[in-house]
Structure formats: C-alpha cells, structure tokens
C-alpha cells in the first residue's frame, strides 16, 4: 500500500495531521503501525501526542487512550493531549479522571493549557466545586 524510502517522525506526524483533518482513523492506524514497525513510538513523545490527537479528533477515545498507554512515562504534553481529547469529545468525567491521575499518581505538575481544559470540563459538568479546586491548584502552582 505505502512505499517509504526513509521514514522519520516528522513524516509520520504530518501524515497523522492529514488523517486528523480527513477524520480517517483507518489511515491513522496504518501510520501508527508504521511508527511501531520503525521503533519510533516509545522513543518519541511528539509522535505519541500526534497519535493521541489524531484518534481524539477522529472521535476514537478508546484508541487515543491505548496510544497513551504505550508510554511508560508520559510527559505533560501526552497527559494534556489526552485530557483535551476527552474534553473535546464531550467526556468531561473522563477528562477529570485523567487529570486527577496526572496530578496524583504521577506527580506531574499541570500547565496553564491543562488547567484551562479541565476548567472547561468542569463547566460541561456544571461542577462548581471541581472548578474551584482546579483554580486553587492554579493559584498554588503560581500559574
């Protein structure tokens, strides 16, 4: 189907962007498979965030979560991409669960982008208490 002389993570990232724009999960899965075949998945967080973003934009949060799980030590970008995917797919409960997992179990400090996304999820839930808690986190982290 595809013929590649040289594949690098930039090529795969651009291909994933195209899959996102076309809402083509099938081609995205092919690109994901190529990343695995060439050993790029575990070594490149940018590719990981691209995969999570592509699956999220295609509305496939199960595959987005599976792509996230392929990383043993996800960074803030991977966490934020997953939280954002859940929020954009109108799954605010899951966004808050992932945010809590990020904040508690993995001791990763949230950044302003993560916090804005979580406040948006709280708004979807009409959960003032959770929104206030996120705001307190923001203030205590000096963001």
Domain locations along the chain: 7-72, 73-143
Q: What is the mean pLDDT of residues 110-126?
A: 70
Answer whether residue 140 shows pLDDT above 60.
no
The helix/strand/coil state of 87 is helix
Q: Which of 103, 27, 118, 5 is nearest to 51 (CA)?
A: 27
pLDDT, position 97: 86
Provide the CA 113 distance to its chain's centre, in angstroms: 12
**Which range in 3-12, 26-35, 74-83 is most confidently predicted, on average pLDDT?**
26-35
- Is residue 122 within 8 A of residue 96, CB to CB? The reply is yes
- How confident is the prediction for the chain on average, in pLDDT? 82
Predicted confidence (pLDDT) per residue in 68-113, tens digit: 999 988 888 899 899 999 989 999 889 888 887 887 766 566 667 6
**In whole angstroms, what is the distance from residue 92 CA to residue 44 CA?**
28
């Amino acid at each position: 189907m595809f013929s590649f002389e040289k594949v690098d993570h930039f090529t795969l990232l651009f291909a994933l962007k195209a899959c996102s724009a076309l809402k083509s999960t099938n081609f995205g899965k092919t690109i994901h498979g190529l990343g695995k075949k060439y050993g790029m998945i575990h070594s490149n967080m940018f590719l990981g965030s691209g995969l999570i973003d592509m699956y999220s934009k295609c509305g496939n949060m199960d595959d987005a979560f599976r792509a996230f799980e392929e990383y043993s030590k996800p960074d803030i970008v991977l966490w934020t991409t997953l939280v954002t995917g859940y929020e954009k797919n109108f799954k605010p409960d899951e966004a808050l669960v992932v945010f809590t997992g990020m904040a508690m179990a993995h001791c990763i400090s949230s950044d302003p982008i993560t916090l804005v996304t979580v406040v948006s999820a709280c708004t979807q839930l009409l959960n003032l208490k959770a929104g206030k808690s996120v705001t307190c986190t923001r203030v205590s982290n000096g963001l």
